[in-house]
Amino acid sequence: EAQVTQNPRYLITVTGKKLTVTCSQNMNHEYMSWYRQDPGLGLRQIYYSMNVEVTDKGDVPEGYKVSRKEKRNFPLILESPSPNQTSLYFCASSLGRGANTGELFFGEGSRLTVL
Amino acid sequence: AQSVTQLDSHVSVSEGTPVLLRCNYSSSYSPSLFWYVQHPNKGLQLLLKYTSAATLVKGINGFEAEFKKSETSFHLTKPSAHMSDAAEYFCVVRLLSGSARQLTFGSGTQLTVLP
């Protein structure tokens, strides 16, 4: 089954404690991206990756890091989380280019609370 | 530059009555337009897309949308609402020739279906 898998789904942590949210897709997609969803703001892009070892900042990258060492994995790293990073996070993947661009496949989300 | 405005943050309808979720876009060039649906505690799922072919686009679960260039609109409709349609809906715009990186999300419309 084609899917994007995120872990953990729920996490409560404290300010400054490093954490990683993993994302894996099994569709051989080149493009992967992280979004955060906050009430009334829709989805905002944090980082994206067009292919292995190719990553770039989205609209709200501050406080986040990513890596793309393998095609299927795209972890999101919060080196020193702060309360304003409390949010619902989504990983998504896509073919990236061509007619199907825009057809994003989303994970089920990771709800992060930073105390 | 591109942007998308969802005109209603909340819409409430009775089961069996029509659904109308409004979306207006702004784009310097020919756009591609999408509607995504997000059910509670789930990731977003593609509902339908417009990519410069037929202006009336049919999607899953009986939804459809019409691209109206003169009105810069891409409203989502369904003739008869079902309880399972209760969800949040996102209108998304991208340049026709753009990549997945260049998606812009609306702020979402929460659809409530009353019995």
Q: Which residues contact B62 (CB under 8 A, 6 or more apart)?
A: B78, B79, B80
pLDDT digits (tens, 9 = 90+) for B43-68: 999 999 988 778 899 999 999 999 99
- Count of CB contacts below 8 A, A vs B? 69
User: Which of B43, B94, B108 is opposite residue A90, by nearest beta carbon?
Assistant: B43
Predicted confidence band at A101 (pLDDT cuts at 50, 70, 90)?
A: low
Q: Do A102 and B103 touch (CB under 8 A)?
A: yes
What confidence score (pLDDT) does residue B86 get?
Answer: 97
Q: Do residues B54 and B38 lie in contact, with contact meaning Cβ atoms separated by under 8 Å?
A: no
Q: Is the pLDDT of residue B100 over 80?
A: no
* A108 has a chain B CB within 8 A of its CB: yes
**With an 8 Å Cβ cutoff, are B32 and A102 in contact?**
yes
User: If you average pLDDT over residues B96-113, what whole number do you get?
Assistant: 81
What is the predicted pLDDT for the residue at B95?
A: 66
Judged by CB atoms within 8 Å, which residues 4-43 of A form the interface with B?
4, 31, 33, 35, 40-43
Residue A85: helix, strand or coil by DSSP? helix
Mind listing the pLDDT tens digit for each residue in B13-35? 999 999 999 999 987 777 889 99
Give the Cα separation of A62 and A65 in Å (integer).
8
The pLDDT value recorded for residue B37 is 96
pLDDT band at A96 (very low <50, low <70, confident <90, very high): low
**Interface contact B43-A48, CB threshold 8 A:** no
CB contact under 8 Å between A94 and B100, yes or no, is yes
Whether A14 and A114 have beta carbons less than 8 Å apart is answered as yes
Mean pLDDT is lowest, of A31-45, A63-77, B66-80, for A31-45
Partner residue facing B100 (CB), from A31, A42, A44:
A31
Instruction: Tally the residues of chain B.
Output: 115
